A and B are shown apart, each in its own frame.
Chain A
Amino acid sequence: EAQVTQNPRYLITVTGKKLTVTCSQNMNHEYMSWYRQDPGLGLRQIYYSMNVEVTDKGDVPEGYKVSRKEKRNFPLILESPSPNQTSLYFCASSLSAFGGYGYTFGSGTRLTVV
């Protein structure tokens, strides 16, 4: 089944404790992206990757890191989480950045930072 898999689904952590949210897709998609979803703000892009070893900042990159060493994986790293990073996170992939290709989203990771 074609899908984007995120782990974990739920995570509660303490301020300052480094964490990684994993994302993997099995569709050989070139483009991958991380979004955060907050009430009233919709989905805002954190980082994106056009292909392996090519990443760039989205609209809200502060406090996050990413890497794209393999085509299928695009982990999101929070080096020192803070309470304002409490949110619902989605990983998404698309066949290509160019043209009218839709995104396939993962099921989300609900992160709480206390």
Chain B
Amino acid sequence: QQQVKQSPQSLIVQKGGISIINCAYENTAFDYFPWYQQFPGKGPALLIAIRPDVSEKKEGRFTISFNKSAKQFSLHIMDSQPGDSATYFCAAKRGNTGKLIFGQGTTLQVKP
């Protein structure tokens, strides 16, 4: 059972455009929602994270939007750059466990 569903599977955006990746979760006990960025040949690296008591968090060009009632959250990459081309994973965690449950991943390609 996939508890965190991520879409789209792949995304192509022109340089300077906005990249949007969406995730939906099922378990209302989740209380920590990070996004990870992975470059080829590397392990995932924490990009940005949010807690459900906040509807939006912004760090530079990266913004998480969180909709608790809809059980959805999304990553927005503003002014997308070719260097942002990578695979992005959303994830969710319950506070009383260490387990991160990951989405299926989105491969982003930003064209120059």
Partner-B contacts on A (CB < 8 A):
4, 31, 33, 35, 40-45, 48, 50, 58, 90, 92, 94, 96-100, 102-108
Contacts and interface: CB of A to CB of B under 8 A. Distances in A.
Contacts of B104: 40-42
B44 A43 contact: yes
Interface stretch (B59-67, B75-83, B91-99): B91-99
Interface of B: 6, 9, 31-32, 34, 36, 41-46, 49, 51, 89, 93, 95-105
A49 to B, nearest CB: 9
Given A41-B104, A42-B6, A42-B103, A108 B98 contact: no
A108 B99 contact: no
Nearest to A31: B98
A104 B31 CA distance: 19
A50 B99 CA distance: 10
A105 B44 CA distance: 6
B98 A97 contact: yes
B25 to A, nearest CB: 13
Nearest to B98: A97
Nearest to B45: A105
Nearest to B46: A102
B42 A107 contact: yes
Contacts of A106: 43
Contacts of B51: 100
